Amino acid sequence: MRLAKHLAHAGVASRRAAEELVFDGRITVDGAVVTDPARDVTGSERIELDGERVGSISAVRVVYALNKPHGVVSTAADTHGRQTVVDLVRAPGSRRLYPIGRLDADSTGLILLTDDGDLAHKLTHPRFEVPKTYRVTVGGPSLRDGVVRRLREGVELDDGRTAPASVKRLANHELEITIREGRKRQVRRMCEALGHPVRELRRVRFGPLELGPLREGASRRLTPKEIESLRAASGGEPSK
């Protein structure tokens, strides 16, 4: 198995993030620094991250839902000392949790954290098209039918045209938008491109999972049934 894949399955990080850890020289195999994420490993080696041994692959993974408050960053650690989503979730034992995807610091709502790197990869990779739904309050003039139609059909951004989205107008300045892409600050940029700067943005749904009554800053561990529903939404096989 490739080293990055082993790290992801061991719950260290998503596969993409695991590759970055390797590139940064933070992983050692049997005492030697390895910078090639494609290096083959069997799992019997002593693999360490920053000097701490990485556990063997576990059959039991956890996923937590967090209602992210404003100002909290969606990373495992922050070089500027800001509070992170990981700081708000207390997992049992020494499990390392990592956020599944991102919500920018100014946004609030549902974000998932897990030690299941493979599931995180499938839920965030554009190929799997897992839908995410946002409630958005915008500035500018009252929302007109033409703006809603353009959001639905796709908006031309500096990194290309967005895919069609599901859009509901809830009020003169409020929308519900569901996208299946994961571009950086995508919903904000879509609205701003049409003359409606975003005032508030809250994610209310990730795949089949809804935010529900979870209070801001609180988290809860997902049930096995909820995790299986996420796995199914990403096209993954149910766990045995």
Catalytic residue annotation: 104
Placement of tokens 């938008």 in the chain: 177
CA distances (Å), 216 to each of 21, 98, 101, 103, 203, in order?
Answer: 31, 19, 19, 14, 12
In this structure, the number of other CB atoms found within 10 A of the CB of residue 62 comes to 19
In the chain, which ranges are E strands?
A: 27-29, 32-33, 47-49, 52-53, 63-68, 98-100, 108-114, 132-138, 156-157, 160-161, 166-171, 174-179, 198-206, 209-210, 219-221
CB 37 within 8 A of CB 3: yes
How many whole angstroms from its chain centre is CA 143?
29
3-state helix, strand, coil in the chain (%, to 5): 25, 30, 50
Name the strand (E) or helix (H) holding 141: none
CA distances (Å), 229 to each of 119, 122, 127, 226, in order?
Answer: 11, 13, 18, 5
